[in-house]
Structure 1
Amino acid sequence: MTGYGRVSHPFKDKTINVELRSLNSKYTDIRAKIPQNYREKEHELRKLISDRVHRGKIEVNIEVASDSGDEEYGLNEPLFRKYHRELSRLSSELNIPDGDMLQAILRLPSVVATAADSIDEEEWSAMKTALNDAIEKFTAFRTAEGNAMKEDLQLRVENISSLLQQLDPEEEERVTKLRQRMRQSLDEHLGKDKVDDSRFEQEILFYLEKIDITEEKVRLEQHCKYFIEELNKKQPLKGRKLSFISQEMGREINTMGAKAYSSSIQKLVVEMKDELEKVKEQVANTV
């Protein structure tokens, strides 16, 4: 599931901006972009997020801006000189104009950094407050998306149940047509007088038993009920179970299609498959 949450939290003469966003993923994958002086707290920060945010490719971006605009910066002179030396050499060897090399070097990573090497506990506490507020907004975003997804999933499964109910009259008509077609074929090739009615009925029963879809219909109906029961449970991380149930639904629908021998039943089966594919797409994006 996607998610988004952003919070700006004032702290003394600074503003702490925290932004969380996520894309769907089978696992929890946290990618953090944080100020250099927050690196010592990165492990704790990741744990704070993973304890409350389940599954997804999660990007967290933390920025600390000075309200007064007079934040102290330090220049890494040895690194600056190294970049300048190497770039000047390449420029000379390749006969490339050096242009505004100064500005280019200053934009390179770690050349310019804030003077602060670490953060105190008071600032860390303020950052955690901002992070928790961002997670609250992130969770609310996911909840709203999840409710819309839940309504769509329930509608799709109910559509499958409705299509399943439409199979009964079609199945009765299929049996009648099969019996008539087989009888007509025998009469045409052997003649009515040479057909043993008792044996014919036995063969019909044997054949109809092989293509009977009663068990598949019963199991599919149970799977649909089970899916909706799990969907309505008040618990997180239900996506995998719903995925397993949808797979079982697919097996029953495919078996009914293989046994159909009826264009009208095949049409209903295709419509069921269409609804089930939409279910699978949605389930793949759930937590």
Structure 2
Amino acid sequence: MKSMTGYGFAQKNFDGRVLCVEIKSVNKKHVDIFFKMCRDFLSYEDTLKKNILNKIKRGRVSVHIFFDKEASSEKVEISLNKDLARQSYDLIQELLKDLNLKQEVPIQHYPKFQDFFQNPIANDRKILSVEELSDVLDSALDLFDQARLKEGACLQKDLLQRIFSVQEMFNQIEGRVDLVKNAYREQIEKNVRDLVKDLRFDEGRVLTEVAIFANKIDISEEITRFNIHINNFKDSVENAKDAVGRRFDFLLQELHREINTISSKCSDAKISELAVDIKCELEKIREQVQNIE
């Protein structure tokens, strides 16, 4: 079982330049992958995305690929392309004049035009290949996957404890079903005796009323289905492989449906109380399931 939230970071030195890959993810029903990287690597995006999809099935994944300037030993030499800067300045002034604008472009805005500045060393250096980049990405993915597995193990333990709690409360509901039927029969007989006092009453009619009520409050089918779903949920948690979050979502919906039906059919105060407690616990489980891939 894996969590949808995780973090992984890897770096590697390439001729004095330290390439870093940072991966982090948050919950989402479907998989979305977002890249933040320099222009040299934009053409690699499809290949990198395929590598990530081999390990990730759900979640919003952010991938940041960058060079660590502080850790890199590469010498940085920046020069100004004066000719390009002058031409750009003249064109901007001409545009302002054509638009009849009185304002000036502040000098601090010009450094944003990156083409004005050149790094001769950067221009001569080799662009990393997709294989070199994928190697660092795979290292980050391995650490990212380990973090998700570690958190997934904690979620698995918590889910099993909550499932056990739900099962215990549901067992109490099962144990009260016959008691509720018997109590209703006794109450009907008492009410009839109080009404007719010394008169004889039709025992068969009382049994018929009890049978009608028993049929209305019969939750045997709901009990069977609830037990099937809770056992399936437990087995899925214990033997979780690959992406199981959607399966958990479905089973929780079914468990909610059955416990709601049981609660509406039974007028017993204790069963109603237990049903509310079970629904609260199922809601806590649902919140945890939102973190599972």
TM-score (norm 1): 0.85
Aligned to 2:31: 28
Instruction: Assess if the C-alpha contact under 8 Å between 1:80 and 1:111 holds in 2.
Output: no
- Aligned partners of 2:190 and 2:61: how far apart in 1? 66
- Aligned partners of 1:182 and 1:87: how far apart in 2? 94
Amino acid at match of 1:281: E
Moved more, 241-250 or 261-270: 241-250
Q: Which runs of 5+ in 2 are unaligned?
A: none
Aligned to 1:107: 112
Residues 36 and 279 of structure 1, relative CA distance in 2, 3 Å threshold: same
Amino acid at match of 2:13: P
- Aligned partners of 2:40 and 2:219: how far apart in 1? 66
Q: Which runs of 5+ in 1 are unaligned?
A: none
Two-structure CA RMSD over aligned residues (Å): 3.2
The percent of aligned pairs where both chains have the same amino acid is 27
**CA distances 1:184-219 after superposition (whole Å, capped 9, x unpaired):** 333344555253111111221121122022222222
Residues 42 and 191 of structure 1, relative CA distance in 2, 3 Å threshold: same
**CA distances 1:69-112 after superposition (whole Å, capped 9, x unpaired):** 416678674995489549977xx9587x86xx333332367776
* Residue number among 16, 19, 24 corresponding to 1:16 in the alignment: 19
User: Partner of 1:166: helix, strand, or coil?
Assistant: helix
Instruction: Assess if the C-alpha contact under 8 Å between 1:3 and 1:142 holds in 2.
Output: yes
Residues 110 and 252 of structure 1, relative CA distance in 2, 3 Å threshold: farther
Q: Does 1:5 align with 2:8?
A: yes
Aligned to 1:38: 41
Aligned to 1:57: 60
Instruction: Assess if the C-alpha contact under 8 Å between 1:242 and 1:283 holds in 2.
Output: yes
Residues 57 and 207 of structure 1, relative CA distance in 2, 3 Å threshold: same
Residues 110 and 147 of structure 1, relative CA distance in 2, 3 Å threshold: farther
Residues 202 and 86 of structure 1, relative CA distance in 2, 3 Å threshold: farther
What are the equivalent positions in structure 2 for 1:1-287 lying under 5 Å apart?
A: 1-64=4-67, 65=69, 66-70=72-76, 77=85, 81=89, 85=93, 101-107=106-112, 116=123, 120=127, 123-191=129-197, 193=199, 195-287=201-293
Instruction: Assess if the C-alpha contact under 8 Å between 2:188 and 2:206 holds in 1.
Output: no
Instruction: Assess if the C-alpha contact under 8 Å between 1:37 and 1:116 holds in 2.
Output: no
TM-score (norm 2): 0.84
Q: Larger relative contact order (C-alpha < 8 A, sep ≥ 6)?
A: 2
User: Partner of 2:20: helix, strand, or coil?
Assistant: strand
Residues 216 and 137 of structure 1, relative CA distance in 2, 3 Å threshold: same
- Aligned partners of 2:29 and 2:198: how far apart in 1? 64
- Aligned partners of 1:104 and 1:72: how far apart in 2? 18
| Residues paired across the two proteins, number | 283
Residues 57 and 187 of structure 1, relative CA distance in 2, 3 Å threshold: same
